Structure 1
Amino acid sequence: MTEECTDRGSPPPDHFGTARAYASHRPGVPPEAARFLAATLSGVPAPVLLDLGTGTGQVPSSILESLAPAHVSVVDTSRERMRAALDALLPELGASRVTGFAGRAEDFGPLDPDRRPHLITCCRAFHWMDRQAVLAMADRVAAPGAVFAVMGDGSLWTHDADWTRALRSLIQSYLGPVRRAGTAGAYAEPSRPYGEDLAGSAFSTVSVHEFPVTRVWEPDQVVGHLATTSFAGPALFGDRHAAFEDDARRLLSAHAAPGPLTEESVFTVCLARRPGDLA
């Protein structure tokens, strides 16, 4: 059996960098959070995982360190990133156990009724989606007893440290004071917390779990990471991107001279279940 790669309609504009840059410069899932997610599948005989907004497959790859699901489906609006996720997962799972879907998360449907997911994950991507439509899709496709997990940990734009404040000011000196959302325009904060989205859905029983994370960045790592973001991607700068990267390296190197560039963050997992599925 070969991998199935489906593309239904035209995905929305891509706000992020190439798959190679994404895989190299995006922080992964903290090991403690990955083990926690894997534990939600404990006791499920042949667990199926669905990862929405998969990027390059970091969530399923991290879960594979603790558990090998019977099947994994990955979804991304970028065909290139979805292919990168498949490339990462196929050596571990084999083509009969992983499939990819390029398109909007709300348009996903399992190609086989035996692939109804027991765990649906969405990491650092839920805010870009039509959340009500995605949760309705999840209710249609999920197996009995399924868990819907929304997770994330903010960004360097929102992180409050001397070096991130200076970096944000540099970005604003190039792009203006408003946080950008790729070439589509300004970023809009979600209208309500994710917990309220979940509580208003079929997955209305919600618990919140936090995992402290400390990251230490090198200046070049930060510059590479910025190229994968919606607020500082290369397309936003046009022919000034190289100049911006040079300025960013100088700024970051100056801040790194007295000590490392440290990011203290919290990786938050919102776990949601259908009330009728609870024992």
Structure 2
Amino acid sequence: MSNFTGTVDYYRRYRPGIPTDVANVLIAASAVETPRRLLDLGTGTGHVVLAIGDRFDEVVAADPDAGMLAAAHDSLRAALPADVMLRLVHATAESFTTPPGWTASLVTICRAFHWMDKPAVLARLDQRVSPAGTVAIFADRSFWTASNPWQTAVRQIITEFLGTQRRAGDSVFTHADRPFGEILAESAFSVVEEVRVPVRRTWTAESVLGYLYSTSFAARRLFGDRVHEFEEAIISTLTEHSENGSLVEDNEFLIHLGRRRGPRTPTR
């Protein structure tokens, strides 16, 4: 069973997309070449491709969850310009395929690198990224690690219902043992640049619940017959913390850009 079983609709509707400032960093990091190609690993419902896919000639998006990929298909086919070649691949980041001779100008891994065999994925990418290409690994803080007071209160409620260890579907989440930048620096993409992009969001009780149900640590099915009790506790707590029904979150995207050593073609 996938860690995200039962979350697809919530993921599509309530997961925050990619902010314009983050999209601009990614586009600027991509090699300027023809054709310009994007490879998005762990695409989920396609948030990254929705944000920057129209700046590329060809896009390959891969995900191991068939439900996520189906949702990505529905949204991306309608959103991308007709002249963008889109290929959706049902595969893990360790086993994805690309057309023969196809190399990426930019690889994006958003909110998904922690699920992967990191050295194996980066070794695989060495043969699938153009000489001037870039690997971008990035994420914002989830509710589990956020420090806003109302998010801390939400996390406390989750632990009261599901236990103090962070869940990963039916398992327990395993934390990365080293910073992603260090792992990236040990790969073929050893020239690493770190970019931080602040983001402010406004939530409602409904969107918070929707977001929680999109995660592996608070998927709706995990609460079983206590789900309505959980929802009541969340709504009650958020009402106490909200101002006119709104909840403000200050977050940040941490972006690691990895490139090969040696001469590079210009980027923009």
Instruction: Give the aligned length.
Output: 264
Distance 2:195 2:233 in 1: 38
Q: Calculate the TM-score normalised by the size of structure 1.
A: 0.89
Distance 1:187 1:94 in 2: 40
Paired position in structure 2 for 1:139? 126
Paired position in structure 2 for 1:180? 167
Paired position in structure 2 for 1:107? 95
Secondary structure of 2:192 counterpart: strand
5 Å matches for 1:40-189? 40-41=29-30, 43-64=32-53, 67-91=54-78, 92-94=80-82, 97-113=85-101, 115-184=102-171, 186-189=172-175
Paired position in structure 2 for 1:241? 227
Amino acid at match of 1:133: A
Distance 1:13 1:259 in 2: 34
Conserved in 1, the CA contact under 8 Å of 2:31 and 2:105? Answer: no
Shift of the alpha carbon at 1:96?
7.1
- Identify the structure with the greater strand proportion: 2
Q: Calculate the TM-score normalised by the size of structure 2.
A: 0.92
Shift of the alpha carbon at 1:205?
0.5
Distance 2:177 2:83 in 1: 39
Distance 2:188 2:30 in 1: 19
Residue among 20, 32, 37 paired with 2:26 = 37
Conserved in 2, the CA contact under 8 Å of 1:136 and 1:201? Answer: yes
Distance 1:227 1:259 in 2: 20
4+ runs deviating over 4 angstroms = none
Shift of the alpha carbon at 1:140?
1.6
Shift of the alpha carbon at 1:82?
1.1
Secondary structure of 1:90 counterpart: helix
Secondary structure of 1:272 counterpart: strand
- Stretch of structure 1 that moved more, 261-270 or 234-243: 234-243
Amino acid at match of 1:40: A
Distance 1:162 1:198 in 2: 33
5 Å matches for 1:2-13? 13=2
Shift of the alpha carbon at 1:45?
2.3
Q: Identify unmatched segments of 5+ residues in structure 1.
A: 1-11
Deviations 1:99-153 (A, max 9, x none): 111121110121232x311100000000011111110111121122110000001
Conserved in 1, the CA contact under 8 Å of 2:131 and 2:264? Answer: no
Residue 230 (str. 1) matches residue 219 (str. 2): no
Over the matched positions of the two proteins, sequence identity in percent amounts to 38
Distance 1:270 1:150 in 2: 5
Conserved in 2, the CA contact under 8 Å of 1:119 and 1:149? Answer: yes
Shift of the alpha carbon at 1:235?
2.4
Residue 15 (str. 1) matches residue 4 (str. 2): yes
Q: Name the structure, 1 or 2, with higher relative contact order (CA <8 Å, separation 6+).
A: 2
Paired position in structure 2 for 1:273? 259
CA RMSD, aligned part only?
1.8
Shift of the alpha carbon at 1:258?
6.8
